[in-house]
Structure 1
Amino acid sequence: SPDRMPYHRRYRRDSDAYRFEDRSPSFGEDYYSTRSRNWRRSRGREQHRPKKYPHHYWRRRTRSCSSTSSRSQQSSKRSRSVEDDKEGHLVCRIGDWLQERYEIVGSLGEGTFGKVVECVDHARGKSQVALKIIKNVGKYREAARLEINVLKKIKEKDKENKFLCVLMSDWFNFHGHMCIAFELLGKNTFEFLKENNFQPYPLPQIRHMAYQLCHALRFLHDNQLTHTDLKPENILFVNSDFDTLYNEKK
């Protein structure tokens, strides 16, 4: 009898009949009423049969749940790390990641505009970069966009870095914080003076630094750019591999 036909054959045949036969307006109501009774009878016979699942079914379910739990934990960890303090600074810690690329390994400074952290860039062979993280404040965010446009122009005009201006390697918006990645340089001239009890630089070094500074400023002016914030903190050595005690006897 039809009730004893295999489930997939019985309902596939009925489904095809419903799909292709001519139907009257009352056909749908009669069809589902009849099929509902058949389903209840079939269901009544099968409800006491033990359900058999392949062994691999449970393995897949277990692995899927574990994977989902792991992703959930990672997501919650990322969510906890994205928070600002009352001044708008991004709260970041050693070991935090930004953009799934930059791993924070140290702090380089903090100011009115934001903070600078040392990072490992895992997308570029684990190279070290200085990442400038701007406050999540509208006026600082707009100022950062202007700075990014200027840095783009500098990089375009001086691809080989002949004019000694700091080069931007990347930028992005991280939850309202404009972030700018630079090559990692050494101490600034103010830090160097401070570590030597503010003893003056030797005249030959002053002459050499002044020449490089004028060389960089001329490049900026030739491209209709003005620095507007020249100070010892913004003049950096390429690296810090030098003796800071050269003037200790004066």
Structure 2
Amino acid sequence: MSEERIDPLALVIIPTYNESENIESIVSRVLAAAPSVRVLVVDDGSPDGTGRIADRLSSEDHRVHVLHRTEKNGLGAAYLAGFSYGISQGYSLLIELDADGSHPPERLPALISAVTTDTTGRVGGSIGSRWVRGGSVVNWPWTRQIISRGGSWYARTMLGLPIRDVTAGYRVYRSDVLEQILAESVESRGYCFQIDLTRRVIGAGYGLVEVPIEFREREAGESKMSGAIVKEAMVRVTQWGFERIFRH
């Protein structure tokens, strides 16, 4: 896809906490894959100097911006801060992307195109999906695959969602749709945040297009996944599921 077809008002939001080994590479790959996008690094006061590296990248390239936060409040809070920034700056597309290289930036054009070529007005965003035809994971132990597949199945079943990869974190959203669904506060902070946004977008009557990606386990740095994150997702999905059942 040519650069001209990439929305120049697309903002790629990259939350970071101790990603000094990855941030320069991932920003470079994003801008190589989609040169007309802008990048916002949301750093949660990384003690390893990630924020300083991001500042340097910003000084070297006008397409890179940095939002410094003073404490680590979780993935959801970082993305909400990024969404708020993007909406206030007038970006039409807001994109979620991990700093660790798990989400291939080279698929950005396809993810963006899935939204911008919609003529119905009912596509609210797109998802880089591991669990649709053509999607895959690399270097993941079978235990992680079971947790991810099982979590998506449980959320999909409990919440009645037509999405295969409900927990995916590689996403493009229309900013006007985000403004609409975020009118009510979002309390979820971990990976449950992705499930929460999925159900809100679908509940508002919009669709999410799943675009296959090859998801790779990080090669540098430490994963932020924990038992507490999985537990939060299970508890909240169960609560939302019962609310949905009893409401009907």
Q: Which has the higher contact order (CA 8 A, sep 6+)?
A: 2
TM-score (norm 1): 0.26
Q: Which has the larger radius of gyration?
A: 1
